[in-house]
Structure 1
Amino acid sequence: MKLLCTFLVIGLLFSCKGKDSDLKPIQNQLEEVENEGMEVPIKTSTSTKELIPLENLSDTTFVRLADYSDDFAYELRYASKNNFLKAQVYDCAECYTRVKTAKALLKANEDFKKLSYRIKFFDCYRPNFVQFKMWEIMPNPQYVANPVKGSIHNKGGAVDITLVTFGGEELNMGTDFDFFGKEAHHDNMDMPELVLENRKLLKETMEKHGFWSIRTEWWHYNLRGSSKDKVANFKWDCK
């Protein structure tokens, strides 16, 4: 019966044309199967001694980033109400990416560490059922990607980040995360010199390691080639 339900849900997804009226019923049905690990198994261990090296994993496997480095900082906003939605859409805070994304992030972070900075994450992989939750709150493609198509966050290839000092102080990027105004645009040069320098450092280093940016969001980076990956929907365990 579970298998039949899963096929029915998938069929509804493909038949959906993206109308707002179609999305809520699909979200209800996705919630029924969200624990079935629809796409990709997680191949990490609770013990760092038992971790499979990234080099031994397929590039499209999902991993928990904290299992592979203690050198990142986290403030996963959608696991709280401190975000533009004013709603908690993750049950708990975790940062997963695909292996190829994790490899690139580790290399980028090594460059930042040479300057006494490190990457801080606001969002990482986002299950597709969470994308439906966000769309239900804010059904506007200017702010939230339509979950029927999915976003690169749903594919494990996008991250929302900033830089912090080793002491945890955020570099001045001019606006807060998820500020949707011209002040957050990369091509807005009408900002203090320090802000422009900090954004340039973040952008050029991330691009050096295979990421590309979105013009309107200084914090958002996609790994090149990730748009071809499949939308995923697995839900991590909250410990």
Structure 2
Amino acid sequence: MKKIYTLIFVLVAIAGQAQYKYGLKVTNLQEYKHSVKLNPNKELIDLEKFIPGIVLDIRYATTNNFTGEKIYDLAKAYARKPVAEALKRAQAELQKQGLGIKVYDAYRPYKATVRFYEVYKDTTYVASPYRGSRHNRGCAIDMTLINLKTGEELKMPTGYDSFQKEAWPSTPVKDPEARKNRALIIDVMRKQGFKVNGSEWWHYDFTGWKNYEVLDIDFEQL
């Protein structure tokens, strides 16, 4: 009987997966909760509560972003448990240097990725809705570094969400301060299992992202 109930749940879950116009099936709240029971590492962790001293500047909860629209109703940052733990270790390492992490974005509902693509279709800078984003999997962090005493951001090659080649981590940087800071953030995150995105110095993908599903769960539901 238990096997029958399990089979029924699986079939219902498959049927209930959201089917979008781009053909990608994504995981909803019910399916997410079931996956967490099976694997606690899949839990989305509230970074502000989990990492002491972390600063949030969630641009998509404001109109101060490339879309000019308010995408999120809440200024929150979530990440899968191993991602949150790795980011916490990075924060601890940076604190020894009087520095800290400011998060611009973390877990991102799939519907937001769809909106980004519809506003700006260049997949050099926005994820394809046909595959989903690593943000949608709860395995990507958009961030910068701050001075803990002043709260000011460290100088970087560009601002956040700059759709310019200067934002690429491979682009040579003339300014020695910006070059040093970019190298530091990339190195600290690499040590904790993150890889910098090829076109965004601020975007870091957790190396185990393939183990997690694309989600479309609003912050209010978490």
Question: Shorter chain as normaliser: what TM range?
Answer: 0.7 to 0.9
Give 2:44's aligned residue: 62
Counterpart among 169, 172, 179 of residue 152 in structure 2: 169
Deviations 1:46-94 (Å, cap 9, x if unpaired)? Answer: xxxxxxxxxxx82221111112123101111111111111111111110
Corresponding residue SS for 1:63: strand
Counterpart among 185, 188, 208 of residue 205 in structure 1: 188
CA contact (8 A) 2:48 2:56 kept: no
Summarize the Cα distance change of 1:68–1:188 in structure 2 as closer, same or farther, 3 Å threshold: same
Corresponding residue SS for 1:154: coil
Give 1:132's aligned residue: 114
Give 2:6's aligned residue: none
The one-letter amino acid paired with 1:151 is S
Residue 72 (structure 1) aligned with residue 54 (structure 2): yes
Instruction: State the shift of 1:9 in Å.
Output: 6.2
Summarize the Cα distance change of 1:139–1:7 in structure 2 as closer, same or farther, 3 Å threshold: farther
Counterpart among 4, 7, 10 of residue 15 in structure 2: 7
Count of aligned pairs between the two proteins: 206
CA contact (8 A) 2:189 2:195 kept: yes
Distance, in Å, in 2 between the alignment partners of 1:136 and 1:177 is 20
Instruction: State the shift of 1:38 in Å.
Output: 4.6
Give 1:118's aligned residue: 100
Instruction: State the shift of 1:125 in Å.
Output: 0.2
Corresponding residue SS for 2:169: coil
Structure 2: any 5+ residue segments left out of the alignment?
1-10
The one-letter amino acid paired with 1:149 is R
Structure 1: any 5+ residue segments left out of the alignment?
14-21, 43-56
CA contact (8 A) 2:117 2:128 kept: yes
Residue 181 (structure 1) aligned with residue 164 (structure 2): yes
Give 1:229's aligned residue: 212
Identical aligned residues as a percent = 31
> TM-score scaled to structure 1, two decimals?
0.78
Distance, in Å, in 2 between the alignment partners of 1:8 and 1:226 is 23
Instruction: State the shift of 1:234 in Å.
Output: 1.4
Deviates further, 176-185 or 139-148: 139-148
Deviations 1:163-213 (Å, cap 9, x if unpaired)? Answer: 001121000002100111121121222320111100111011100111011
Deviations 1:106-143 (Å, cap 9, x if unpaired)? Answer: 00000000000100001100011221222222233222
CA contact (8 A) 1:38 1:234 kept: no
The one-letter amino acid paired with 1:130 is A
Deviations 1:145-168 (Å, cap 9, x if unpaired)? Answer: 122311100000000000001121
Any runs of at least 4 consecutive aligned residues in structure 1 with deviations exceeding 6 A, and if so which?
Answer: none
CA contact (8 A) 2:142 2:204 kept: yes
Distance, in Å, in 2 between the alignment partners of 1:191 and 1:161 is 22
Summarize the Cα distance change of 1:186–1:139 in structure 2 as closer, same or farther, 3 Å threshold: closer
CA contact (8 A) 2:169 2:200 kept: yes
Give 1:158's aligned residue: 140
Give 2:5's aligned residue: none
CA contact (8 A) 1:39 1:233 kept: no
Distance, in Å, in 1 between the alignment partners of 2:160 and 2:30 is 30
